[in-house]
Amino acid sequence: MTVSEQGLIVPGSGKFDLPEYLKAGPGNHPPLDSPGYKSTGLRHPKQPLVLLPQRLTEVTGPLLGDELITMGDADLTTQHGGEPQGQRIIVSGQVRDSGGRPVPDTLVEIWQTNAAGRYRHSREHHPAPLDPNFDGIGRAITDSAGRYRFVTIQPGAYPWGNHYNAWRPAHIHFSLFGRAFTQRLVTQMYFPGDPLLPLDPIFNSVPDEKARQRMIAGFDMDLTQPEWALGYTWDIVLRGRAASVFE
C-alpha cells in the first residue's frame, strides 16, 4: 500500500481513498480582520467560507513541469550583466506534507525587495534606488528529497504606510503549489533577530507564537559558504497542525 498526501492507493485493487482535508492548527492563521493591519478589513470575504470537498480533481490537477525551470532561475544574483548590491545569502530548506514526508517536484517561487528595500514594480513608491542587476524574482523545483535552494541578496526593510513610521521587517515572499494547484501556499519568510518583527502588524497578526516562529528562518553556519555568502535554512510544511503560516 502506498501512502501519499492524496490518499491511500491499494495496488491491484483500483481503490483510491481520499483523506479528510487537514486543517492547520489553531492560531496558525491570522483572523480575517486584523485591526493593526488596516487593509485586511477591505479585502476579505464577507460571507462564511465554504470548504470544498477534497476530490480527485482537486488533488491531481495539472502541475508545472520542470522543463520550464532552469538552474539559473534559482540564482537571483546572476540574472543580469553584473552582480547586485548587498549581502549575498543562500536560502534553502525542505518542503514537507502533513505527515512529515518530503514533497518533491513542487514549484517554489520567491519575490523580494533589493538590498535598499525597493521592489521592481510599477506601483512601488519607496524612494530607494533600484538595482539594475537585481529583479528580486526567482523560482525552483524541489528535488527528490523535497529540498529547494536559492542564492539571493539580503532584502531591505521598507515603509508601507499602515501607520506612522511603519516599516516592514526584511522578508522574502514565497509561493508553493504543493502536489496540486489547490494546495497552493503563499507566505513570507523572515530573518532572525530583526528588531522590526515585534512591531510588525502583519507578522503579529498570526495569533500562535509557535506559528510566528515558524515564519523565521534559521541562520545556518553549515549552509554558509566561506568568503562568499551567509546561509539561512527555512523548512515549509504544506498542511496539518504544523503547517506553515499562509496568507
Give the catalytic positions in this structure: 119, 158, 168, 171, 173
Contacts of 81 (CB under 8 A, 6+ apart): 133
φ, ψ for residue 168, nearest 5 deg? -75, 135
Contacts of residue 8, Cβ cutoff 8 Å, sequence gap at least 6? 1, 2, 15, 16, 17, 19
Query: What is the number of other CB atoms lying within 10 angstroms of the CB of residue 52?
Result: 10
Distance from C-alpha of 240 to C-alpha of 74, rounded to nearest angstrom: 28
Terminal CA-to-CA distance of the chain, rounded, Å?
Answer: 35
58 Cβ partners below 8 Å, 6+ apart?
Answer: 52, 180, 182
Beta bridge partners of 140: 108
- Give the separation between CA 144 and CA 139, rounded to whole angstroms: 16
C-alpha 159 chain-centroid distance: 21
SS3 85: coil
Q: Report which of 91, 76, 85, 86 is spatially closest to residue 224, judged by C-alpha positions.
A: 91
